[in-house]
Amino acid sequence: MVPVVLGTTFLIYVLVFALPGDPIRVLGGDKPMPPSVYQALRHHYHLDEPLIEQYCRYLLGLFRGDFGETLNGQSVSSLMASSWTVTVQLALTAWIFELVVGITLGVWAGLRKGGIVDSLVLSGTTFVIAVPAFVLGYSAQLVFGLKLGWFPTVGTDDGFPYSYLLPGMILGSLSLAYIARLTRTSLIENMRADYVRTALAKGLPRRRIVVRHTLRNSLIPVVTFLGIDLGNLLAGAIVIEGIFNLPGIGQQIFLAIQVKDGPTVVGITTFLVLIYLAANLVVDILYGALDPRIRYE
């Protein structure tokens, strides 16, 4: 964990440093900035020091829990606290949505292979995979938000979960399509397995076979996907956050990269790395719970 964090912060720090441009000049906008002010700001943000010195200063700050200051003089920690809350709520909404609806649809379609539900799920998911997220986002916002008024159009004013439902569903829809298909194929495959035939021959009720045996085995690839996807949802919501004006991580990092705001970019990405690591860990643990064989290997 520690080397990974050290490595990523350093890499990102160097990368941000290597971006072209001067963040202090951006602050001045199109107006010329007096040299005294320019120097004062460079000094304040330690931009007049060599890279290594800046990085060490940043690391020391990190150990004290100080993530530094954005170029507007805001503390990065409080900025991250507020934007992470938004992103986590959004990602969880999306994740729960894709988990519940995705697996339900997948099981339904898998059990009645070739039926109406199966065809609907197949065509529906093809559609969702084919259409880019921002098209879905804007259309849903227009139809369900503006015209029908079922959901808030933008912002987080209506709180959790109402404000997050529509963006969450759009954000989760792509993965939902994958989960539904993954569950379906996995289930169909397992239903043909020897142990299912044995169980059927033994006279176990079909319901019990599906829930207790087949589903549990079929969910292993799905769980892997879900685990990694939570990381993706947290990191990849830039477009959706933009459309629905949710002041989350994606938006902050986008704005920060534009003005070369080093401390913000490094702080957020470091956190993202930690989340990926945690998600992977949870997936590994869940494997064992679902399939005891993996535990012993």
Q: Which amino acid is at 199?
A: A
Contacts of another protein in 19-48 (CB under 8 A): 19-23, 25-37, 39-41, 44
Stretch of residues binding another protein (CB under 8 A), selected from 18-26, 57-65, 126-134, 266-274 = 18-26
Do the beta carbons of residue 252 and residue 268 sit within 8 Å?
yes
Distance of alpha carbon 42 from alpha carbon 46, whole angstroms: 6
CA 155 vs CA 80, 144, 167, 172: distances in Å: 18, 15, 10, 18
Residue 77 lies near another protein (rule: CB under 8 A): no
Do the beta carbons of residue 267 and residue 62 sit within 8 Å?
no
CA 167 vs CA 17, 171, 243: distances in Å: 34, 6, 9
Stretch of residues binding another protein (CB under 8 A), selected from 55-63, 69-77, 274-282, 288-296 = 69-77
Stretch of residues binding another protein (CB under 8 A), selected from 1-9, 251-259, 276-284, 286-294 = 251-259
Stretch of residues binding another protein (CB under 8 A), selected from 124-132, 173-181, 257-265, 269-277 = 257-265
Task: Give 276-285's long-range contacts (Cβ < 8 A, gap of 24+).
Answer: 276/231, 276/235, 277/1, 277/4, 279/227, 279/228, 279/230, 279/231, 280/227, 280/228, 280/231, 282/227, 283/223, 283/224, 283/227, 283/228
Which of residues 33 and 290 has its CB atom nearest to another protein in the complex? 33
- Residue 237 C-beta: closest distance to another protein, Å: 12
Nearest to 222 by CA among 116, 126, 110, 120: 110
Residue 83 lies near another protein (rule: CB under 8 A): yes
Do the beta carbons of residue 141 and residue 166 sit within 8 Å?
yes
Q: Which residue in 170, 234, 243, 275 binds another protein (CB under 8 A)?
A: 243
Contacts of another protein in 136-165 (CB under 8 A): 141, 145-146, 149, 152-160
Contacts of another protein in 183-242 (CB under 8 A): 241-242
Which of residues 89 and 183 has its CB atom nearest to another protein in the complex? 89
Q: What is the contact surface with another protein in residues (CB under 8 A)?
A: 19-23, 25-37, 39-41, 44, 72-74, 78-79, 82-83, 85, 89, 141, 145-146, 149, 152-160, 241-245, 247, 251-252, 255, 258-260
